[in-house]
Structure 1
Amino acid sequence: DGIVTGDDFGQSGCRPYPFPPCEHHANKSARYEPCSSTRPPTPTCERKCASGYDSRTYEQDKHYGASAYGVQESVEAIQKVSVDHCS
């Protein structure tokens, strides 16, 4: 079905990611605030670009993958795919 543009926790792209980063790992870092104990509500699925994004329509902004393949659920398998197929 395609995926539209949008940056991490910002304001650019058709549908920016709505949730701010937070620290949820056991080894705390100073980079993010601790995550809240309550989850934010799931946003509604809107098939239109965010207000103020006038570059393209939602349909024009979509990007599609040429193909898909499965990867084993291990760090080593994911690392191998990254080395072999990503540039």
Structure 2
Amino acid sequence: MEVHAFNESAPWQSTLGFAFDDSAVAAENKALNALRSRYAYGLETGQLSPDVYLDRMLQEMSQAGEERVRAEMQAQFDLWMKEKAP
């Protein structure tokens, strides 16, 4: 199959083009990124025990405002989809 035909037959993602504006939750997002930097690599590579550190990371993420960031992103996405609808 030639590349053009392959590309044309690929399924289209309805979420393509969405970009999250984190300005309303910038402080929370910064704190969450710091937590990811602190824990993610160690958890992914087995250097940190998930039995000990996963719950700790999730609790700290909750305290840092993860739900507020998630809610803001969902609200923006819902609005974007509504505006995009025919």
TM-score bracket for the superposition, by shorter chain length:
under 0.3
Structure with max Cα Rg: 2
Q: Which has the higher helix share?
A: 2
TM-score, structure 1 normalization: 0.25
1 or 2 for the larger relative contact order (CA 8 Å, sep ≥6)? 2
